[in-house]
């Protein structure tokens, strides 16, 4: 069986650094693996490409020995199942706002009797010797994204659900929901982050946060978040390109 890096790192208290990829390029996955990132997210909500690009990225992630999550575009059983069947260990679902939203999502991730995932793991089963079905529910990651007032209000109920393995806090959308502006350092966002982190720890759920910049990421790791993303491949490329142009033209 492949290493379950997400759960083993949580148990060891070792933070994971997640490379958040929106360009959906297999070559980008090879580059972040070489650079030493721990795992990847392939963004199918706000990223480029469709199903074929996702499969290519998951193939590259397996070759690079990087555990992979896919953020789907919507809380849709078909999209969730396609990502898992293609080899994603876990799925991030955006805009989870209620207990019912979270329960529907978990049913899409887990096989019966825990859920309603349909059988057909054409790439997923290649990770394992023997019976994939018997281990799949304990291997897959159901990650609900917290980015609305509704999610905060239903947080305890959501985190109590059997089969919810990870929570991902999206500070950009959450800041808009709480303050009406994009401000990830607003006091309201800081309070929400503390609440989500503490509740996740109480429920034994992996706590994942997206950070726009390195300073925000460092503070999150110091606070005890289990996993942090630091920007995205598109933001890295844009920032580095601008800095190189600036230095070259001095």
Residue ranges of the domains in the chain? 5-248
Phi, psi dihedrals of residue 206, rounded to the nearest 5°: -65, 130
127: pLDDT confidence band, cut at 50, 70 and 90? confident
Which one of 2, 14, 27, 46 is the catalytic residue?
46
CA 237, 209, 156: angle at the middle one, nearest 5?
A: 155
pLDDT at residue number 23: 97
DSSP secondary structure letter of residue 117: P
Where are the strands (E) in the chain, listed by range? Answer: 16-21, 39-43, 68-71, 90-93, 141-146, 166-169, 206-211, 227-230
Could you confirm whether 46 is annotated as catalytic? Answer: yes
Residues 78-124 pLDDT 10s = 999 999 999 999 999 999 999 999 999 999 999 999 999 999 999 99
Q: The domain 5-248 belongs to what CATH superfamily? A: Phosphoenolpyruvate-binding domains (3.20.20.60)
- 178-222 confidence digits (pLDDT tens): 999 999 999 999 999 999 999 999 999 999 999 999 999 999 999
CA–CA separation, 43 vs 115, rounded Å? 24
Tokens of 60: 């590259």
Predicted confidence at residue 129, as pLDDT, reads: 81
The sign of the dihedral angle between the CA atoms of 182, 185, 189, 195 is: positive
Position 250 confidence tier, pLDDT thresholds 50, 70, 90: confident
Q: Band the pLDDT of 243: cuts 50, 70, 90.
A: very high
* Mean pLDDT for the chain overall: 96
The DSSP output letter for 124 is G
């Amino acid at each position: 069986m492949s290493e379950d890096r997400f759960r083993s790192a949580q148990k060891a208290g070792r933070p994971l650094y997640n490379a958040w990829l929106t360009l959906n390029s297999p070559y980008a996955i090879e580059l972040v693996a070489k650079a030493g990132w721990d795992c990847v997210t392939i963004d199918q909500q706000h990223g480029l490409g469709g199903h074929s690009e996702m499969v290519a990225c998951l193939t590259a992630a397996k070759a690079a020995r990087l555990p992979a999550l896919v953020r789907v575009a919507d809380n849709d059983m078909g999209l969730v199942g396609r990502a898992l069947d293609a080899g994603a260990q876990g799925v991030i679902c955006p805009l989870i706002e209620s207990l019912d939203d979270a329960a529907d999502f978990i049913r899409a991730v887990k096989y019966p009797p825990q859920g309603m995932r349909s059988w057909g793991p054409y790439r997923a089963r290649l990770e394992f010797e023997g019976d994939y079905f018997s281990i799949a529910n304990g291997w897959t990651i159901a990650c609900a994204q917290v980015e609305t007032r509704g999610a905060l209000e239903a947080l305890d109920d959501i985190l109590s659900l059997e089969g919810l393995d990870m929570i991902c806090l999206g500070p950009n959308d959450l800041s808009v929901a709480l303050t009406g502006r994009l401000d990830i350092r607003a006091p309201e966002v800081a309070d929400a982050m503390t609440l989500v982190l503490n509740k996740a720890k109480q429920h034994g759920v992996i706590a994942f946060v997206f950070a726009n910049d390195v300073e925000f990421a460092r503070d999150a790791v110091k606070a005890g978040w289990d996993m942090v993303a630091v920007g995205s491949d598109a933001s890295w490329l844009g920032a580095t390109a601008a800095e190189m142009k600036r230095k070259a033209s001095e």
